[in-house]
Structures are given as structure tokens and as C-alpha cells.
Structure 1
Amino acid sequence: MADIDKLRPLFLNLPIFQPAIKGWNRLEGSPRQREVERSLRAEVRDPLWMLTRQWQFGEFQGDDAGSPIDARLLTHQTFLNRYAVANGPTQPLPIDIPLEARVEREYRSNDLGSQLRIGRYFEKLLRKTVSSTQFQPYKNEYVRQYSIPASEPNPTFDKDTDQTREAVAGKTINGELLLQAVADGSHTVWVNGNTIISSSDKTLLTGIATDLVNWAAQFMTQPESKEDNAWSGTQLEYQFACAAEDTDGTQTVLRADQYENGQLDWYSFDVDSASTLDGTLSQPINPLDECLSFIPAPVSFQGMPQPRFWEMEDERTEFTKIDTNTTDVIKLILTEFMLLYSNDWCVFPYERPIGSLCAIGGLVVTDVFGQRTFIKPAGTGIDDDWTRWSFFSLSTNAAAANTLSLLPPSLGKPQESQPLEKVNFIRDEMANSVWAIESVIPSPLDRGINGFESALAAQNASLSPAAALLPTEAKIRYLLGTSVPYNWIPFIPVHVAGSDRDIQLQRARMPDQAATFKGKILDQPAPYFVNEEEVPRSGKLITRTYQRTRTTDGRVVLWVGRKTTAGKGEGSSGLAFDQLLDTTPSV
């Protein structure tokens, strides 16, 4: 039997031949000449090669799919209207300012810088309101009544503060003191009883005092009450909750218990189905139901592979340099999408108002064959089902998965000042403690200064010179303990109440320190505890800065916020006890 007879059954009796090689990277020619002009023409000289190329790209494979030409989307939207901090009352949540500003904002500091800034603005209002002959007498009356003290403690030992106070004391109006007088009504009483001020100008002065209050309120957003404080000193992060209410009274509560990086997005929130934000609000509840029709548009991006051989690809994105491991699931999924399935996706543009929670009722897609396909929201089912797939779902503590889409009223990219304050939490294993190092502290001029220089000045001002050692024949001397810089605040481990194993960190102080913390980050009521797990081996760095942004209607929003980032690792304070030192002078 000829060899061909042995091979014939393999071709005649088996199904149609299927390619054995299912995957490949790229077919590239090996040029034999330096010029590539002719090869780039892609001249067709071999029809069989072109058919093979089309077969390789799967162009001979047919299916029943058609291109989408119409999409119908049904949505139901509710809007965030409630806000509350931990252990705080529920309050309305208007979206007039970004949510970050509402959460992070602090009260304006009553320091020398604020006194000068507000006082000088009142002088401008006074100059514009009264006549030039009356301006200086009125200003002198205000300076005498609301004066900046010439001698005020300077705990930061800042020379600029001392020089500024010396220059403005008795010459400039204390704006903070004036604001307090306007708020409690004593300013009106003083103006009406002052004989220097004419009767016609008393009403004018009362009016510009009201303008000053309005200007100060617009200058910087502040909390509405002392309870409106989302910062948790124990966890070193912000904790708050928002809620969206529907017409039937049901609430969707969103909690952000670990907000620390200065930027809020949908992944910062978790759905809390077991609680509600109580309280009656006067805000109207206007949910929005929409049924929209779209023309699907193919997804495209820079460097997207082209489906045809004769189309040149954009080289601005180099996919061949993607470095990934088998554990980089997200990167692998994204790479597979870009290289294999990018031309199989379509996008439907849908504009939504900020502060909305959107529930997708369904999506109906019509293709060129007239067939309609109903698509449910991705990720539906049981929340802990391992086969459930979704990228943008909110985490929830309920059994059923939450498929709501959140568009928080967050800011874009704000302008940020130099740090007003910077505290670095580090672990000191040799001293068995944690140190909070105030590397930058706020000065009375409302600016950040070097905490190490301030600590050195405080140490030189408070410590007496070291006593001279008496002559003795002893070769060693005993030292009870060393000291640390004044800007190193100790946090010592203590037991959690009711537990013999769990510990927490309690703020303490060194015995020889006359000065303690200078900033607001560590300014917590005593006893002040920090959870032990909040300070890892890498440490934790907390900064306070001024932040400025604009709203959608162009208004300026200014506030002071805090941001927590990773530290710079462990450190050593050099603290030691029971030291034996050599008294013999070294040669």
C-alpha cells in the first residue's frame, strides 16, 4: 500500500481541518535590504498569502452577531441630601461646595495673622464709607477699643511674629475681636454710645460691620458647629456618612470610614444597609426617572490595534513593553481588553448631575438585523458570590449585591499651600514607643515654620545651664536618662480598657519638657489615645494645608484640610535610661 493510501483516511473521514496553533504574538518580516519603501507598500502578489492572512485574523469566521445601531436605557436617580459625622447630628447636604471641603473644613484660627487680615479689610471699608477727615479719628477709636496686644505669648519662638506684633500693636484694628463684638451685639452698643462718632455715621459703621461679617464668612468655609468635626484622632482619618432619600422614605446610606488621602471618589464609600440617618430635613426629594435612547459609538483609544492588516497602527502607545506578573489581575484584564476585545465594545454617553445615585433598570440594544437584546446591570446577584463580576460596584454589608452608581460632589484638582503643620508618626523599637514629630508647626502668623528650630529655641529658653561636675576620683558617672527634642511627643503603649492583650498608644510627655505640642493635629482632649494599628512600621505622615478650588459656577472655596500618607520608616530618638558614662577625659 502506498503511503498516500495510509494518509487518505485522515483527510477524508475526519472533520474539517482546524488550525492546531491557536495563539500567536505577531508576524513580522525579516528584511534582506536596508530600504523598506517597497515592503511598506504591502503589494499583493500572492492571493493565497492574503487569504491565509485573512484566515489568521479570523475574518472567515462568521457568527450571528450584528453591529448595534440603537440603545435604550432606563435609569432611576436619587440625590444625596443628608450628611452626618460620627456621633454628630444629621444635617442637610447641599452641593454648593465640594464634599471634601465640607468634610475637612476647620474653624479659622484666632491668631495674629487673622487679626491683621480682617482688621485691614475693615479699614478699607471704613475709608470707603466715611469722609477723609473722619477716617483717622474713627480708626483711632476702633484701635483703642479693639486693639492688638503688644505683649502676647509666642509659644513657637518665631522672630517674624515678634517683629510683626511690635510693628502693628496699637496701630491696627484687631479684626477677630471686632467680629466677636459684632456677633454678640456689643459693637452696636459701643458705636451708639461713642461721642466721637457723629449721629449720621453710626448707621454707616453698623452697616460696614455687617459687611465685614459677610466677607469673613465668604473668605473661608467653616463648620456649622463644634459637633461638625469629621476628624477621628484615634484612627487618624476622617469618618462621615451621606444618604440619598427616595420618595417612599427609603434611604441609601453611604459611609466613608477611612477617608485620609484628600480625594473622594465612588470607591471611598460603602453602602450601610443596616442604618439610616435620622432627622427631618426641609429639602425637597426629587428623584429622576429617565428613559433615554443612544446611538452606540465604538470604543477607541490611543494605540488601539487595528482590525485590518492594511491599516497602520498608532505607535503612541507601546503595548509590547507591558511588564506584568501572573498576580496582576487588573493589568492582565486591561491588556487582554486592549489587544483582543477592544473593537467589540461600544460606549453610550450619559450625562448625570453630581451628587446622584443611579440605578440601571435595564438596557435594550438593537442591532442591524433588528434583534433586541436586554442587558441587566453588571454584578447583580449575591454579594459574596465569587462568580459575580463588576468593576464599579459599591461594597455593601447586605446579602444582595449593590449595583448603584455613585457620582459624588467631589472636587477636581485643588490648589494646595505649603504645609501649615506636619506631624510624622514613627516607631522607635529601642524605646518601645511611638513618637509624633512636629517637623512643621503653625505660627501665630498663620504659616508653617520649622518645628526643629522652634523646639531648639524653646529648649534654650527653658532649660538652665548644665551644672559643673564636682572633681572626683570616680571613673564613671551615672545618668538617669537622656532627653529628646521638644518637638518629639511620645506615645506610650497602654492596655485597652477591659483587655489584657490589646494595647493602644497614649499621648504622654517627657519629664523635662516645659513645652508640649504646638499644632492642632495633636491637640486632642486628654487622655488622647491612638489605635496601635494606625502607626505601621513604615510610619504615618499627617499634613495640614490651605486648599482652594472653584465650584461649577465659578465661586472660590477655601478651607484647611488634613491628609494622611505613608511615613519614612522607623526611627530612633536616642532615649535611654540608667546610663554609665566615662568621666576620664579622652586624649
Structure 2
Amino acid sequence: MSNIYCAPFRAFNRIEGRPREEELEDALAARVHDPLWMLARQYQFGEFKGEDAGSAIFAKVAVNSVRISNLEFPNGSSPSYSENIPLETQIERLIPQVDLKKAAKWGRKFLQLLDEQGANAPEEDGYNPGQYKNNLLAKFPFEVPELNKDNESVGEEISKARQLSLQQATAFLRALAGRALNGLELWVFLAGDYTKINSLVLAENQSPDKDQFVHLKHRGILEVAASNWIQFVREELNIPVDPEDNCWYQERLEYSFKAKVEEGNGGQTELSAAAYFQGHLDWYSFDVSKENSSSGSEFDESVKTRKVISLIPTEAAFAGMPNSRWWEMEDGSIDLGNLKASDTDIAKILVTQYAMQYSNDWLSIPYDIPTGSFAEVEGIVVRDTFGQNYFIEPAHQAGNDWNDWNMFSLSVEKGEFEKPDFDKRILLPPVVARTMESEPIEEIKLIRDEMANLVWAIESQVPDGLGGSIDGYEAARNFQQILEKLQEEPSAMSRIALPEIDSNSPEAKARTYKAMLKYQLGNTISENWIPFISVHRNGSNREVHFQRASMPRITALFPTHAVRPRTQLLREGINPNDEQLQPLFIDEEEVPRSGVKLTGTYQRTRWYHGKIVTWYGRRKRTGRGEGSSGLNFDQVLENNT
């Protein structure tokens, strides 16, 4: 009988032990019926061809490392590098807008520190707990703003109306008035210098009043309490000592700073992070802006360290990967054979291929280096089971093409026409793995409006005065309601001068007829839309950037004035009375057609020595495209009024 080829009935079986009993002794013994046949088949498939390669049993590694010595901020200051707080905190921290809850907490803390210090004072000082509480409450009070006061500018009136439009914050402020110490007023009064508290101390034979009420013998108590209180406030939110010591680059809407590394031989390397906004700082955020220029001085071992370690290399593996020795018990939590990857699932294909084919070809050598180090592997010597030593060279050799494969290398900043280069050392910055982020206190969306030929900064979330945020449109509506309520009051109507009209004049008679059309000079938009206009850069007639502008607020209560933003980011250069002291610019390339979303949030993390660190910082994310404000001018509309 001839053989008939039947493809549908073809079957393949793996040559492996199949346990049919509850116990695993027979299966793990790997017994075969015909071991000689198994050896012949292995020989036939070339499994006995030797590669003259033994297993690695010993490795010796030499590592050179230097550490970050200090930082450089955009304002020119160069603080020393410290591991007391994460590097993100040192770079991102900004002075936040202090809310009412925090101001009340700070005031209560000052009274507590003052009483604690007074309790530790000698009895002859005669300090009584709460002795100066009423005086301090009168000096630094919480006050509910009042409108329609005489001799106040339009900006002051608008600023108070804006504060009153936050209904919950106003109710909370009324509860605090006369009962709590305003810690924000005290912070502004001291300005970070505890010696300014001495202005409250009475001179000899002086009677106490509202501004001076502390006895001279209690001067030391007051100074120590003020010093401890300033330290408490700074540590709570990691507020910098100098308000100018921040890395926020306003025109580019991102952070920018440099880290300097002492090389130990008189040279120095500068690491630049010129565009950091992602929220997580790591090695890829840096570039080498200035390479080491050795001065040939004596080697400093305290700065640069060289360590040689000897250990046994281990197999590079991940959880769930099959064991290289098949008779070992496996976890079984991951079924790699059940992975279904398409042609585009590159990550799944790579993981599966590494686990199934190349897992025993890669070894790992653990080596601990301190954070803040800039380390380089000088060389690796591996000894195999045959006693032969091999010197392992890096995958990318000096002089090779810059585009060759390499990992964790930092690009070296070169000129536009210079050949690219990189630094083969690895940077381990002192950063956190994860942070807790609050809900946005401020949220701004920058969009392009091609119809109006403007860039708009939409304040979608503004501070609510209680440590949270409120919708920007809702805040604008509440403010309009405050203005409308003021117009209904008789005191406000008396300030409006209406023109006198003669009822017998032709103009008065014409008013009795309704026109079919009307002319509108311009419509209005929500006050949380802040415009930015294109202007030329100084000294250039081609390059432009965006400058903060303002929409007019036209109301019968006050003369026409500018609508100012509410968020701290957009109010830079504007004082509390809505007077612009300096303009605000944004680079044109920072607002693409996709738009930009900026958020201001509180960050919280636990540093590696257990300390909880909190700070206020900003993030930049991609927007959702262009938009339209609906702003129109010179329109002829139907007269439906």
C-alpha cells in the first residue's frame, strides 16, 4: 500500500516527560525509554557542537565615580548640593499663594511657639501664657474687605470685589476675623528676618500702643519664637530663603538649571537641564553643557572615588521568566506561550524572545553607588569555568559612529555644525521614584485663536482661597454678580451721572422709534480668558514673542480699566492693586497649534531617610488643539431689544 500524504492529520509532539502520577519523582528524574536514541538525535541536530564557551563564575569590576557639588540657578546663584531633600524639590519649589487656612495655621503656630518659649523662660521674666495674644491679633488681623470706601483706587476696589466673589472663602474669613492671628501678614512683616520682630518691643518708659506692646524683658523670648516660626514655615512647604532662588523660566514655561560636577583633578563638568517640565527628573533630563577641562592639579580622592569589587555574576531575569535549568520548579504566574503579539507589539515580542532564547546569555553584576553620582565603568574582567579571563569592552567604542547603540549616555552640547558627541558615564540624580500630587490649584490652557489672531490663556481653575480651586468660569460669573449687586445699591447709583435729555428735541423723539439694525463695536467674553498679542523682540524686526495684554472691563461703577488674571502664574509683574509693574512675555514656540496646559499643584513624597517633603510646583502638558473665543468687532446685528 502506497503512502498517502494527509496534511490535516499531521501532528507533532515534544519529547518531554509527562507525569501521570501525583508524585513528581519520576517526572523530575527525566527518564527516557531509549537514551541512546536521544543522544543520536541530539548529535544529528548538532547539539553536541562545542562553542568553547564556559559559564561565568567570577567577575571583577572597576568603577570610577564623582558627585554633584553644587547647582546653578537662572538668577546666577549657585547653592551647594544637598541630599536633605530630593533634587525635584530644590528645582521645582515655588512660593505658593497662601490661602486662609494656611494663614490661620501659621498664626496659631506662632502663638504656640511664643507660649512654649515663655514657659521655658526664667520666672523673673514674668511671662504669662497668652499675654500678647490680643495685641498680636490687633496687629496682624483677618479683615473682611469693604467696598465703596473713600480714597481708594479702582484697582483696590476690584481686588476686594474679586476676594468677596469667593463665597466660601469670604464666609471662612468672617469666622476668623477678630479670633485668629493672620500668619500671612506676620510672614510679610518679618520677610524672613526674625530680628524685625524687635519693632514690637517697647523702649524704656514707653507706653504700649497698637504697634509696640512687648515688654523689653521679653525681647529674647519673642526673637527665639520668631526664629523657630520662620524655620517651621520654610520647612512646611520648602520655601527657598531667597524668593529669587527658583528655576522657573517664565518665557519658556519650564524649569531650567545646571548641575556642576567636580572631577577631582581641578576640572569641572556642567550638566544642563535646560527644558525640564515633565514632573519626574531623571538622567535623560540632562545634557553635558561643558566638558571636563582638567587643570592637571593633584588628584582629590575625597571628590573622585575608584572602587574595585569582586563577585559572582547572576543571570539577568525578571519575574515570571522561565528558568534556564528546566528541572527547577518555576513560578508559573506568567504563561509566555499564551502571549499573543501582533507585528506592531514590539515590546511583547522583545520580552518573549529574550525570555525564551537569550535569557542565559545576559548576566548582571550588582553595584551600589550613592545618589548624585556621575559614574563610569572602567572595565570588567570575567572568568569562566575553564579558568580563562575575558575583558569586557563597551558596546560603543570611542571613534565609532555617534548613532551606534548605547545606553544611559548623556549628549554633549555642540555647535550647530559640529559633530555630535556623548559622555559614556551614567548619572544617578537624587530624585524620588513617585510622588503624591494634589488636585490642581491653578490650571491654565494656552490656545491659539486664528480667527482673532491672538493667543488666549484660559484660567480653567483658579485658587478658591481655602487651599483648593474653583472653576474659572464660575469664578468669573460670581465676580460679575458682585458688580451687578453693587450697581443695584443706592450708593452706587448715586455715583452714576446720567446725561440730561430734552424731551422736545428731535433726538428724544427719534428714540421712540425702534431701528431694525444696530451696530455693535465689540462683544464680550468671559473674564477668565486673558489675551496675549504678538510683538517684536527688542532689537529684531522679524522675531516675535507673545506679550500679556488685557481685555477692558466697562462698567458704570468705575472708569474703564483692564481685566487682570487671577492665577499666580499669569499675575507675575502685577501688584495686588492690579497695577502692572512689568510686562509678561512667552516665547512663540512654546504655544504650538496643539496648545499647552499648565498646572500648579502641591507635591508630597517621603525621602529615603523617612522625612516627608512637601512643595509647590508646576507642570506643562500638551493641550487639545486650537480654539475660538468668539471675539468679534464692528458687527451689524438685528435689533431685538
Once the two structures are superposed, the pairs formed by residues 224-303 of structure 1 within 5 Å of their partners are: 224-273=241-290, 286-303=303-320
Q: Report if aligned partners of 1:154, 1:444 keep a CA contact under 8 Å in 2.
A: no
Q: What's the counterpart of residue 68 of structure 1? A: 56
C-alpha spacing 1:310/1:480, structure 2 compared with 1 (3 Å):
same
Q: Does 1:393 align with 2:404?
A: no
CA distance in 2, matches of 1:125, 1:248: 49
Q: What's the counterpart of residue 4 of structure 1? A: none
Q: What's the counterpart of residue 557 of structure 1? A: 613
Say which of 116, 119, 135 aligns to 1:141: 135
The one-letter code of the counterpart of 1:510 is M
Q: Does 1:172 align with 2:172?
A: no
Q: What's the counterpart of residue 516 of structure 1? A: 564
Q: Report the 3-state secondary structure (helix = DSSP H, G, I; strand = E; otherwise coil) of the residue aligned with 1:401.
A: strand
- Alignment deviations for residues 437-468 of structure 1 (CA, whole Å, 9 cap, x no partner): 11111233343222211111223344779x9x
Using the TM superposition, give the Cα deviation of residue 310 of structure 1 relative to its aligned residue in structure 2, in angstroms.
6.4
CA distance in 1, matches of 2:382, 2:288: 30
Once the two structures are superposed, the pairs formed by residues 10-159 of structure 1 within 5 Å of their partners are: 29=13, 44=32, 50=38, 54=42, 59-109=47-97, 112-130=100-118, 134-151=128-145, 153=160, 155-156=162-163, 157-159=165-167
The one-letter code of the counterpart of 1:124 is Q
C-alpha spacing 1:394/1:197, structure 2 compared with 1 (3 Å):
closer
Say which of 562, 570, 580 aligns to 2:636: 580
- Alignment deviations for residues 209-237 of structure 1 (CA, whole Å, 9 cap, x no partner): 32222222222212232432211122111
Say which of 476, 488, 497 aligns to 1:455: 476
CA distance in 1, matches of 2:112, 2:194: 23
- Alignment deviations for residues 526-554 of structure 1 (CA, whole Å, 9 cap, x no partner): 43222222223332111111112222222
Q: What's the counterpart of residue 365 of structure 2? A: 348
- Alignment deviations for residues 160-211 of structure 1 (CA, whole Å, 9 cap, x no partner): 2212222222322222333455526342242344767666655433332322
Using the TM superposition, give the Cα deviation of residue 138 of structure 1 relative to its aligned residue in structure 2, in angstroms.
2.0
Using the TM superposition, give the Cα deviation of residue 337 of structure 1 relative to its aligned residue in structure 2, in angstroms.
2.9
Unaligned segments of structure 1, at least 5 residues: 1-26, 277-282
| TM-score of the superposed pair, with normalisation by structure 1 | 0.82
CA distance in 1, matches of 2:186, 2:244: 25
Q: Report if aligned partners of 2:68, 2:373 keep a CA contact under 8 Å in 1.
A: yes
C-alpha spacing 1:192/1:53, structure 2 compared with 1 (3 Å):
farther
Q: What's the counterpart of residue 160 of structure 1? A: 168
Using the TM superposition, give the Cα deviation of residue 381 of structure 1 relative to its aligned residue in structure 2, in angstroms.
1.9
Q: Report the 3-state secondary structure (helix = DSSP H, G, I; strand = E; otherwise coil) of the residue aligned with 2:599.
A: strand
Q: Using the TM superposition, name which of 540-549 and 471-480 deviates more.
A: 471-480
Q: Report the 3-state secondary structure (helix = DSSP H, G, I; strand = E; otherwise coil) of the residue aligned with 1:100.
A: helix
Q: Report the 3-state secondary structure (helix = DSSP H, G, I; strand = E; otherwise coil) of the residue aligned with 1:256.
A: strand
CA distance in 2, matches of 1:310, 1:474: 96
- Alignment deviations for residues 255-289 of structure 1 (CA, whole Å, 9 cap, x no partner): 1112111111111111113699xxxxxx9952211
CA distance in 2, matches of 1:70, 1:474: 97
CA distance in 2, matches of 1:451, 1:548: 25
Q: Report the 3-state secondary structure (helix = DSSP H, G, I; strand = E; otherwise coil) of the residue aligned with 1:91.
A: coil
Using the TM superposition, give the Cα deviation of residue 314 of structure 1 relative to its aligned residue in structure 2, in angstroms.
5.5
C-alpha spacing 1:447/1:538, structure 2 compared with 1 (3 Å):
same
CA distance in 1, matches of 2:340, 2:431: 32
C-alpha spacing 1:361/1:574, structure 2 compared with 1 (3 Å):
same
Q: Report if aligned partners of 1:428, 1:572 keep a CA contact under 8 Å in 2.
A: yes
Q: Report the 3-state secondary structure (helix = DSSP H, G, I; strand = E; otherwise coil) of the residue aligned with 1:93.
A: coil
Say which of 176, 180, 188 aligns to 2:198: 188
CA distance in 2, matches of 1:510, 1:352: 56
CA distance in 2, matches of 1:108, 1:347: 45
Q: What's the counterpart of residue 443 of structure 1? A: 464
Q: Does 1:423 align with 2:444?
A: yes
Using the TM superposition, give the Cα deviation of residue 473 of structure 1 relative to its aligned residue in structure 2, in angstroms.
5.0
Q: What's the counterpart of residue 518 of structure 2? A: 477
Q: What's the counterpart of residue 20 of structure 1? A: none
CA distance in 2, matches of 1:481, 1:348: 71
Q: Does 1:546 align with 2:602?
A: yes
Q: What's the counterpart of residue 374 of structure 1? A: 391
Q: Report if aligned partners of 1:88, 1:227 keep a CA contact under 8 Å in 2.
A: no
Using the TM superposition, give the Cα deviation of residue 92 of structure 1 relative to its aligned residue in structure 2, in angstroms.
1.3
Q: Report the 3-state secondary structure (helix = DSSP H, G, I; strand = E; otherwise coil) of the residue aligned with 1:374.
A: strand
Using the TM superposition, give the Cα deviation of residue 329 of structure 1 relative to its aligned residue in structure 2, in angstroms.
6.9
CA distance in 2, matches of 1:262, 1:478: 50
Q: Using the TM superposition, name which of 110-119 and 46-55 deviates more.
A: 46-55
CA distance in 2, matches of 1:253, 1:133: 55
Using the TM superposition, give the Cα deviation of residue 372 of structure 1 relative to its aligned residue in structure 2, in angstroms.
0.9
C-alpha spacing 1:106/1:383, structure 2 compared with 1 (3 Å):
farther
CA distance in 2, matches of 1:444, 1:383: 59
Aligned residues: 545
CA distance in 1, matches of 2:225, 2:44: 80
Using the TM superposition, give the Cα deviation of residue 522 of structure 1 relative to its aligned residue in structure 2, in angstroms.
1.5
Q: Report the 3-state secondary structure (helix = DSSP H, G, I; strand = E; otherwise coil) of the residue aligned with 2:231.
A: helix
Q: What's the counterpart of residue 502 of structure 2? A: none
Q: Report the 3-state secondary structure (helix = DSSP H, G, I; strand = E; otherwise coil) of the residue aligned with 1:483.
A: coil
Q: Report if aligned partners of 1:230, 1:238 keep a CA contact under 8 Å in 2.
A: yes
Q: Report the 3-state secondary structure (helix = DSSP H, G, I; strand = E; otherwise coil) of the residue aligned with 2:290.
A: coil
CA distance in 2, matches of 1:317, 1:28: 24
Q: Report if aligned partners of 2:194, 2:230 keep a CA contact under 8 Å in 1.
A: no
C-alpha spacing 1:534/1:315, structure 2 compared with 1 (3 Å):
farther
Q: Using the TM superposition, name which of 389-398 and 41-50 deviates more.
A: 41-50
CA distance in 2, matches of 1:199, 1:507: 50
Q: Using the TM superposition, name which of 67-76 and 493-502 deviates more.
A: 493-502
Q: Report the 3-state secondary structure (helix = DSSP H, G, I; strand = E; otherwise coil) of the residue aligned with 1:459.
A: helix
Q: Report if aligned partners of 1:245, 1:285 keep a CA contact under 8 Å in 2.
A: no
The one-letter code of the counterpart of 1:121 is K
Q: Report the 3-state secondary structure (helix = DSSP H, G, I; strand = E; otherwise coil) of the residue aligned with 2:303.
A: coil
Q: Report the 3-state secondary structure (helix = DSSP H, G, I; strand = E; otherwise coil) of the residue aligned with 2:201.
A: helix
The one-letter code of the counterpart of 2:162 is P
CA distance in 1, matches of 2:127, 2:304: 60
Say which of 515, 531, 540 aligns to 1:490: 531
Q: Using the TM superposition, name which of 106-115 and 79-88 deviates more.
A: 106-115
C-alpha spacing 1:219/1:46, structure 2 compared with 1 (3 Å):
same
Q: Using the TM superposition, name which of 72-81 and 110-119 deviates more.
A: 110-119
- Alignment deviations for residues 29-60 of structure 1 (CA, whole Å, 9 cap, x no partner): 59xxxx9969x979845668855875799733
Using the TM superposition, give the Cα deviation of residue 154 of structure 1 relative to its aligned residue in structure 2, in angstroms.
5.3
CA RMSD of aligned residues (A): 3.6
Q: Using the TM superposition, name which of 486-495 and 181-190 deviates more.
A: 181-190
Q: What's the counterpart of residue 122 of structure 2? A: none
Unaligned segments of structure 2, at least 5 residues: 1-10, 120-125, 147-159, 294-299, 415-419, 489-497, 499-509, 555-561, 574-581
- Alignment deviations for residues 102-123 of structure 1 (CA, whole Å, 9 cap, x no partner): 0111125455444312111122
